[in-house]
């Protein structure tokens, strides 16, 4: 799944999606049924004549509703149980789990715990492995079952009982899904233990004892820590931890001077505090630096140099962040005019829109990105007094400028009154340093200094306003981001800036991502069973696998149709690889290149048509959310389940008609 | 039969009469101008398996379809079961079209070879087919136990069918055909693969079913089997119906008389010959009758089971 698809899927709202989906599903089913009836009639008329053909089709169509309405759960379950026993007999399930167990047993050897994001590697490994194994198991069991029954004629003793074609198809799907569910559950539990066990660790502080006394002073000339990295401003001592799990951390003892009314968010790492003459408080705190994508909490007992330091479990893994996205994002250029999609700074970054910091000659830039939020109410946040804004901003530099200095941005919030005559409340601009390639956390206090407009639109004197009672009085809030560095750009997409609520439990998120695999499995099994009603086993396997691959690569295939696509289609690309021809150069004109292009066009058109029939698997794929540490919303889960069940129903009906209209015996 | 069951059957019969006014409850199976042509992949005619077959099978009779291999017997059975679709004509079972699923509620079918799931045990097999008839668990269990005992497989009921001999599989195949206490039983080569003892038991079973008022349609190319159990037969050859009628009338040789008697000395033979010649008769044969090999085999087996370890007296002679 591409990045943009992943971010698009983050916004799925079941209530908005459902009416549109029904609008597509209903007519599509109707069209397919009509096409089936017409095709069926043509075949029947060819074989039996026009009149008899009509009678046969009428009889088949007429039997549809009774056959589905009178389905017996006992018969469906009997077929399902048989399918389960059959799958066990074929040992497909055991082999699948055996392969998975092998991968888990030896996979740990190849995991790089020292990478930037070991959690992503672990989760990706288990999620992708499970997904592929379960789907291929689904394809195998679904493809062989019915063709083998027909080949061995065991189906004779089944269809000569009062069993409906619908029961045979649905029973098989239910049976294979049940066995897949059991397998998936087992694999899910093993995967969770593997990920949890693989990433859970702690460290000891290197030194004679676990106290501040073992920390080292910082060389004031270099201000580097033990690993040769620059220490933070305010750092007075450093330490390093033992090497565990393939990495070590450094840490600092910093002096943090704050106003009396704004204590540090995490008080557990405070070693001492001292009230200064001006009323401010000087905190001494122990901070563990980021390594291998995580840090560790610190527990301090005692104070002063004798304070004992204990490192807690890793922080930064096992997250399921719950983002509150804006309803819309609009970009405005320096003239104040709205600019669709922001500034495009290059194809490779086209997911984000960019806004510039103006030029030195026009410093008061009006270029900005505006995010409109709704539903901003106290109850949605874990701590209403300190709301967290999270940003993944892109940075684009037109000049090198000061390479040590990060590009500056600012944020500002304002109310969005229902009635334009009501006064607006606009906050001050708050400047921040952008953190490229990192997720940036911005704690926002409840009381924010701003100005209110009077009836004539003039600003009143500055005052403190409440985030919920004044700014987001009606639940609506506008967040404005600006780039404050001339000649530089900041970039953002709608998914990049959001407010955060309390995290969801990681295990629950893990479970939800496996529900996504389950939904994929249901679709694949339904597809395999439907194909197996009219194809033999090998052809069913190929057809199901091709449909699955098309479903996984829907966007990529559609992109190949785009005129911007470089390197041509599959055949041309293959030719270029073999002949080591550059992707961006035109092929030499001639019959060969024309043939290649035309064949590619045909091939890509056919594949692209398939993408409109095959399920788009990105709807069911939640592993990215799990890997990047986002909560899988119930909306997305709902959409995936409804889509999977729609395909289950659609493919069951296809299988039903196919089985009903074919001769079982030869 | 319980009164409630009788009522249900009467009701379903009445229903059928309402939905199909031509339905005669005494006619269980009906083929009307039934034809089947097999085509190849391109739709070209490959084999004409059945040509305009017309026949009726009445309630309570044992009907045999007789013919050499490839005569259309199995095709007829498959058309009646809806496993094949007719090219023209109609196949009706209990007055319903053969493609109608609900007709199967009253049908039991034993295919030519017992196509059963080899990974199931005998108990599981019957339980599975019982479920397909929507039978409640208790009824299924009782019926399965009863049938397993009836076909003599109680000792092997927990073994997978893959471990069964061909004859044992055939027996459990018959049991699955009877799981729903059917009114019509279709048997495709019922004695195929059975030893003489099994063949005899199968024939006895067919006669027992007839005595219970069931209708049996069987097809076979083993003439003796058909002769032993069938009331009426149809002889098919190359897909065409060549003969149809009661077995006893079809086999009756009207211009010959057979007399069998015992305890008559050799000396009386001359007198008997004289009497026949006096009346203008022609003696074709007069000799001690021979038993059939089947009878001999069965009596030896019977004696051996009564007196284990002893050699048969007949064998010594």
Q: What is the CA radius of gyration of chain B?
A: 23
Query: Strand, helix or coil at A445?
Result: strand
Question: Is B102–A162 a contact, with Cβ atoms under 8 angstroms apart?
Answer: yes
Judge whether A335 lies within some domain.
Answer: yes
Question: How many Å apart are CA B143 and CA B125, to the nearest integer?
Answer: 12
Question: How many Å apart are CA A49 and CA A41, to the nearest integer?
Answer: 10
Regarding whether A282 and A185 lie in a shared domain, the answer is no
pLDDT score at B6: 45
Regarding whether A220 and A78 lie in a shared domain, the answer is no
Question: Is B104–A74 a contact, with Cβ atoms under 8 angstroms apart?
Answer: no
Q: Are B122 and B172 in contact (CB under 8 A)?
A: yes
Residue A175 Cα, gap to closest chain B Cα (Å): 14
Longest Cα separation, chain B: 75
Which residue of B lies nearest to A75 if distances are taken between CA atoms? B132
Question: How many Å apart are CA B273 and CA B27, to the nearest integer?
Answer: 49
C-alpha closest to that of A555 among A624, A627, A625, A608: A608
Residue B112 above 90 pLDDT? no
Which residue of B lies nearest to A67 if distances are taken between CA atoms? B101
Higher-confidence residue of A259 and A455: namely A259
pLDDT score at B63: 94
Question: How many Å apart are CA B116 and CA B161, to the nearest integer?
Answer: 8
Question: Is A158–B84 a contact, with Cβ atoms under 8 angstroms apart?
Answer: no
Higher-confidence residue of A266 and A282: namely A282
Which value, to the nearest 10 degrees, does the dihedral of the CA atoms of residues A489, A493, A499, A500 take?
-110
Q: Kindly report the backbone phi and psi dihedral angles of residue A114, in degrees, each rounded to the nearest multiple of 5, phi listed first.
A: -95, 5
Q: Are A285 and A269 in contact (CB under 8 A)?
A: yes
Mean pLDDT estimate for chain B: 84
Of A472, A500, A528, which residue sits at a domain end? A500
**Exposure pattern of A98-120 as b/e (b: 16+ CB <10 Å)?**
eebeebbeebeeebebeeebbbb
SS3 of A387-433: EEEEECCEEEECCCCCCCCCCEEEEEEEECCCCCCCCCEEECCEEEE
Question: Is A160–B129 a contact, with Cβ atoms under 8 angstroms apart?
Answer: no
B interface mutation test: which of A160, A168, A534 has the most B CBs within 10 A? A160
- Residue numbers of B between 185 and 244 with CB closer than 8 Å to A: none
pLDDT band, residue B11 (cuts 50/70/90): low
Q: Are A109 and B155 in contact (CB under 8 A)?
A: no
B109 touches chain A (CB under 8 A): yes
The count of structural domains within chain A is: 3
Regarding whether A54 and A41 lie in a shared domain, the answer is yes
Question: Is B43–A47 a contact, with Cβ atoms under 8 angstroms apart?
Answer: yes
By percentage, how much of chain B surpasses pLDDT 70?
89
B interface mutation test: which of A90, A162, A164, A534 has the most B CBs within 10 A? A162
Judge whether A104 lies within some domain.
Answer: yes
Of A306, A339, A359, which residue sits at a domain end? A306
Regarding whether A295 and A356 lie in a shared domain, the answer is no
Q: Which residues of B are less than 8 Å from A160 in CB distance?
A: 81-83, 104, 107, 109
Question: Is A85–B115 a contact, with Cβ atoms under 8 angstroms apart?
Answer: no
Question: How many Å apart are CA A167 and CA A156, to the nearest integer?
Answer: 15
Instruction: Give whole-number Cα distances, A98 to A102, A188, A300, in Å.
Output: 6, 14, 46
Higher-confidence residue of A652 and A223: namely A652
**What's the sign of the alpha-carbon dihedral B152, B154, B160, B165?**
negative
Regarding whether A610 and A487 lie in a shared domain, the answer is no
Question: How many Å apart are CA A160 and CA B182, to the nearest integer?
Answer: 12
Question: How many Å apart are CA B79 and CA A160, to the nearest integer?
Answer: 11
Judge whether A419 lies within some domain.
Answer: yes
pLDDT tens per residue across span B16-59: 455 566 667 789 999 999 999 888 777 777 888 899 999 999 99
Give the bridge partners for A449, in sequence order: A464
> What CATH topology corresponds to B11-251?
Rossmann fold (3.40.50)
Across A42-46, A439-443, B177-181, the highest mean pLDDT is recorded for: B177-181
Regarding whether A461 and A385 lie in a shared domain, the answer is yes
Regarding whether A491 and A510 lie in a shared domain, the answer is no
Ramachandran bin of B121, using left for φ above 0, alpha for ψ from -120 to 50, beta for the remaining angles: beta
Question: How many Å apart are CA A178 and CA A170, to the nearest integer?
Answer: 12
In chain B, ranges of CATH 3.40.50.300 domains: 11-251
From the list B83, B104, B111, which residue is nearest A161 (CB)? B104
Residue B94 Cα, gap to closest chain A Cα (Å): 14
Q: Are A393 and A496 in contact (CB under 8 A)?
A: yes
pLDDT score at B116: 92
What is the mean pLDDT of the segment spanning A57-74? Answer: 89
Mean pLDDT estimate for chain A: 87
What is the mean pLDDT of the segment spanning A258-286? Answer: 84
Regarding whether A132 and A96 lie in a shared domain, the answer is yes
ipTM, 2 dp: 0.82
Q: Which residue range forms the structural domain that includes residue A237?
A: 212-306
SS3 of chain B: CCHHHHHHHHHHHHHHHHHCCCCCCCEEEEEEEEEEEEECCCCCEEEEEEEEEEEEEECCCEEEEECCCCCCHHHHHHHHHCCCCCCEEEEEECCEECCCHHHHHHEEEECCCCCCCCCCEHHHHHHHHHHHCCCCHHHHHHHHHHHHHHCCCHHHCCCEHHHCCHHHHHHHHHHHHCCCCCCEEEEECCCCCCCHHHHHHHHHHHHHHHHCCCEEEEEECCHHHHHHHCCEEEEEECCEEEEEEEHHHHHCCCCCCCCCCCCCCCHHHHHHHHHHHHCCCCCCCCCCCCCCHHHHHHHHHHHHHHCCCCCCHHHHC
Q: Which residues of A are less than 8 Å from B104 in CB distance?
A: 160-163
DSSP 8-class letter at A321: B
Which residue of A lies nearest to B119 if distances are taken between CA atoms? A89
Q: Are B110 and B191 in contact (CB under 8 A)?
A: no
pLDDT tens per residue across span A197-229: 888 888 988 877 778 878 888 887 877 777 777
Question: Is A161–B88 a contact, with Cβ atoms under 8 angstroms apart?
Answer: no
Q: Which residues of B are less than 8 Å from A69 in CB distance?
A: none
By percentage, how much of chain A surpasses pLDDT 70?
97
Give the CATH number, domain containing residue A341. Answer: 2.60.120
Regarding whether A495 and A543 lie in a shared domain, the answer is no
From the list B97, B109, B113, which residue is nearest A160 (CB)? B109
Q: Are A280 and A263 in contact (CB under 8 A)?
A: no
Residue B292 above 90 pLDDT? no
C-alpha closest to that of A11 among A373, A439, A324, A472: A324
From the list B43, B82, B116, which residue is nearest A157 (CB)? B116
pLDDT band, residue B2 (cuts 50/70/90): very low
Residue B64 Cα, gap to closest chain A Cα (Å): 20
Judge whether A447 lies within some domain.
Answer: yes
Parallel, antiparallel, or unpaired: how do β-strands A463-466 and A394-397 relate? unpaired
From the list A154, A163, A663, which residue is nearest B117 (CB)? A154
Q: Which residues of A are less than 8 Å from B176 in CB distance?
A: 157
Residue B12 above 70 pLDDT? no
Q: Which residues of B are less than 8 Å from A157 in CB distance?
A: 109, 111, 114-116, 129, 173, 176
Judge whether A315 lies within some domain.
Answer: no
pLDDT score at B4: 46
What is the mean pLDDT of the segment spanning A471-484? Answer: 92
Judge whether A162 lies within some domain.
Answer: yes
User: Which tokens go with A502?
Assistant: 């309390």
From the list B101, B114, B128, which residue is nearest A162 (CB)? B101
Question: Is A162–B131 a contact, with Cβ atoms under 8 angstroms apart?
Answer: no
Judge whether A631 lies within some domain.
Answer: yes
Q: Are B175 and B148 in contact (CB under 8 A)?
A: yes
Q: Which residues of A are less than 8 Å from B101 in CB distance?
A: 67, 162-164
B119 touches chain A (CB under 8 A): yes
Of A450, A476, A500, which residue sits at a domain end? A500
User: Which tokens go with A179?
Assistant: 């066995």
Residues whose CB falls within 8 Å of the CB of residue A473, separated by 6 or more in sequence, listed in order: A415, A417
C-alpha closest to that of A499 among A442, A544, A421: A442
Across A165-169, A270-274, A276-280, B97-101, the highest mean pLDDT is recorded for: A165-169
Residue A286 above 80 pLDDT? yes
Q: Kindly report the backbone phi and psi dihedral angles of residue A262, in degrees, each rounded to the nearest multiple of 5, phi listed first.
A: -130, 75
Judge whether A312 lies within some domain.
Answer: no
Residue B191 Cα, gap to closest chain A Cα (Å): 18
Query: Strand, helix or coil at A348?
Result: helix
pLDDT tens per residue across span A324-343: 999 999 998 877 788 887 88
Higher-confidence residue of B297 and A134: namely A134
Regarding whether A417 and A274 lie in a shared domain, the answer is no
pLDDT score at A364: 54
Question: Range with the lowest mean pLDDT among A106-120, A350-364, A621-635, B155-169?
Answer: A350-364
Question: Range with the lowest mean pLDDT among A256-265, A371-380, A533-542?
Answer: A256-265
pLDDT tens per residue across span A169-188: 999 999 999 999 999 999 99
Task: Report helix angle A506-532 to A537-552, nearest 10.
Answer: 140
Strands, E assignment, A125-280: 216-217, 235-240, 250-258, 270-275
Question: How many Å apart are CA A70 and CA A64, to the nearest integer?
Answer: 10
C-alpha closest to that of A658 among A60, A70, A80: A60
Determine which helix (DSSP H) or strand (DSSP E) holds A452, and give its type and residue range. Answer: strand A447-452
Q: How many CB atoms lie within 10 A of CB A8?
A: 16
What is the mean pLDDT of the segment spanning B197-206? Answer: 88
Question: How many Å apart are CA B248 and CA B233, to the nearest integer?
Answer: 10
Q: Are A294 and A315 in contact (CB under 8 A)?
A: yes
pLDDT score at A653: 92
Q: Which residues of A are less than 8 Å from B131 in CB distance?
A: 74-75, 77-78
């Amino acid at each position: 799944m591409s990045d943009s698809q992943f971010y698009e899927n983050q916004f799925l709202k079941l209530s908005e999606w459902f009416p549109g989906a029904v609008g597509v599903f209903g007519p599509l089913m109707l069209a397919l049924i009509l096409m089936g009836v017409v095709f069926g009639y043509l075949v029947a008329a060819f074989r039996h004549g026009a009149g008899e053909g009509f009678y046969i089709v009428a009889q088949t169509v007429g039997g549809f509703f009774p056959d589905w309405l009178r389905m017996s759960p006992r018969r469906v379950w009997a077929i399902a149980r048989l399918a389960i026993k059959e799958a066990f007999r074929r040992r497909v399930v055991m082999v699948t789990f055996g392969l998975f167990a092998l991968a888990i047993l030896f996979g740990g050897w190849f995991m790089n715990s020292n990478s930037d994001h070991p959690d992503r590697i672990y989760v990706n490994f288990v999620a992708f492995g499970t997904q592929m194994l379960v789907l291929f198991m689904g394809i195998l069991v679904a493809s062989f079952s019915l063709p083998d029954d027909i080949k061995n004629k065991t189906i004779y003793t089944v269809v000569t009982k009062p069993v409906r074609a619908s029961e045979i198809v649905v029973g098989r799907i239910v049976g294979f899904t049940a066995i897949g569910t059991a397998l998936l559950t087992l694999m899910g539990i093993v995967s969770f233990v593997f990920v949890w066990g693989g990433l859970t660790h702690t460290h000891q502080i290197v030194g004679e004892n676990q106290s501040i006394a073992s920390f080292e002073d910082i060389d004031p000339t270099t201000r580097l820590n033990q690993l040769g990295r620059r220490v933070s401003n305010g750092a007075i001592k450093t330490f390093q931890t033992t090497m565990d799990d393939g990495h070590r951390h450094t840490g600092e003892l910093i002096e943090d001077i704050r106003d009396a009314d704004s204590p540090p968010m995490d008080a557990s790492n405070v070693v001492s505090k001292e009230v200064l003459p001006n009323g401010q408080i000087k905190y001494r705190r122990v901070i563990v630096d980021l390594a291998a994508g995580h840090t560790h909490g610190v527990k301090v007992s005692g104070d002063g140099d004798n304070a004992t330091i204990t490192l807690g479990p890793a922080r930064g893994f096992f997250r399921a962040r719950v983002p509150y996205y804006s309803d819309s994002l609009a970009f405005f250029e320096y003239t104040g005019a709205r600019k669709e999609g922001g500034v495009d700074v290059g194809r490779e970054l086209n997911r984000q829109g960019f806004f510039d910091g103006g030029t030195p000659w026009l410093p008061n830039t009006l270029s900005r990105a505006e995010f409109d939020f709704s539903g901003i109410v106290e109850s949605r946040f874990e701590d209403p007094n300190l709301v967290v804004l999270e940003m993944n901003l892109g940075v684009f530099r037109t000049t090198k400028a000061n390479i040590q200095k990060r590009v500056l941005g600012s944020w500002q919030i304002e109310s969005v009154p229902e009635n334009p005559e009501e006064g607006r409340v606009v906050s001050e601009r708050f400047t921040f340093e952008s953190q490229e390639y990192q997720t940036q956390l911005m704690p926002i206090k409840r009381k924010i200094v701003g100005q209110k407009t009077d009836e004539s639109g003039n600003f009143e004197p500055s005052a403190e306003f409440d985030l919920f009672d004044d700014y987001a009085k009606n639940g609506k809030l506008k967040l404005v981001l600006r780039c404050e560095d001339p000649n530089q750009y900041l970039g953002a997409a709608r998914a990049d800036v959001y407010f955060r609520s309390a995290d969801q439990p990681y295990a629950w998120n893990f479970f939800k991502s496996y529900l996504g695999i389950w939904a994929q499995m249901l679709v694949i099994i339904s597809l395999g069973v439907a194909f197996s009603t009219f194809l033999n086993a090998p052809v069913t396997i190929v057809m199901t696998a091709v449909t699955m691959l098309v479903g996984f690569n829907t966007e990529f295939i559609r992109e190949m149709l785009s005129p911007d696509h470089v390197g041509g289609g599959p055949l041309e690309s293959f030719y270029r690889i073999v002949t080591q021809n550059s992707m961006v150069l035109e092929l030499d004109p001639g019959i060969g290149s024309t043939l290649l292009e035309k064949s590619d066009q045909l091939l890509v058109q056919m594949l692209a048509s398939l993408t409109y029939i095959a399920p788009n698997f990105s709807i069911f794929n939640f592993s990215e959310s799990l890997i990047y540490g986002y909560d899988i919303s119930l909306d997305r889960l709902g959409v995936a389940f409804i889509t999977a069940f729609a395909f289950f129903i659609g493919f069951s009906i296809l299988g039903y008609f196919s089985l009903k209209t074919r001769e079982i015996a030869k | 039969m319980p009164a409630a069951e009788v009522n249900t059957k009467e009701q379903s019969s009445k229903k059928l009469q309402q939905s199909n006014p031509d339905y005669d409850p005494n006619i269980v199976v009906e083929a009307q101008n039934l034809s089947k042509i097999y085509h190849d992949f391109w739709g070209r005619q490959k084999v004409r398996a059945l040509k305009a077959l017309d026949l009726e099978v009445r309630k309570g009779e044992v009907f045999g379809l007789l013919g050499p291999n490839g005569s259309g017997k199995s095709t007829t059975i498959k058309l009646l079961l809806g496993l094949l679709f007719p090219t023209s004509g109609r196949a009706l079972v209990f007055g319903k079209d053969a493609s109608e699923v609900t007709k199967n509620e009253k049908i039991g079918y034993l295919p030519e070879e017992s196509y059963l799931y080899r990974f199931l045990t005998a108990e599981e097999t019957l339980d599975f087919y019982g479920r397909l008839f929507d039978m409640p668990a208790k009824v299924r269990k009782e019926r399965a136990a009863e049938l397993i005992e009836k076909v003599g497989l109680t000792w092997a009921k927990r073994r997978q069918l893959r471990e069964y001999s061909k004859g044992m599989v055939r027996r459990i195949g018959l049991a699955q055909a009877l799981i729903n206490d059917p009114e019509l039983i279709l048997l495709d080569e019922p004695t195929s693969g059975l030893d003489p003892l099994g063949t005899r038991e199968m024939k006895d079973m067919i006669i027992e079913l007839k005595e219970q008022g069931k209708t049996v349609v069987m097809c076979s190319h083993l003439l003796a089997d058909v002769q032993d159990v069938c009331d009426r037969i149809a002889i098919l050859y190359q897909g065409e119906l060549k003969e149809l009628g009661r077995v006893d009338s079809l086999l009756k040789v009207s211009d010959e008389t057979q007399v069998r008697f015992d305890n008559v000395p050799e000396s009386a033979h001359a007198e008997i010959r004289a009497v026949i010649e006096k009346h203008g008769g022609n003696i074709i044969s007069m000799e001690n009758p021979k038993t059939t090999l089947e009878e001999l085999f069965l009596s030896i087996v019977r004696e051996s089971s009564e007196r284990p370890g002893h050699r048969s007296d007949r064998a010594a002679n």
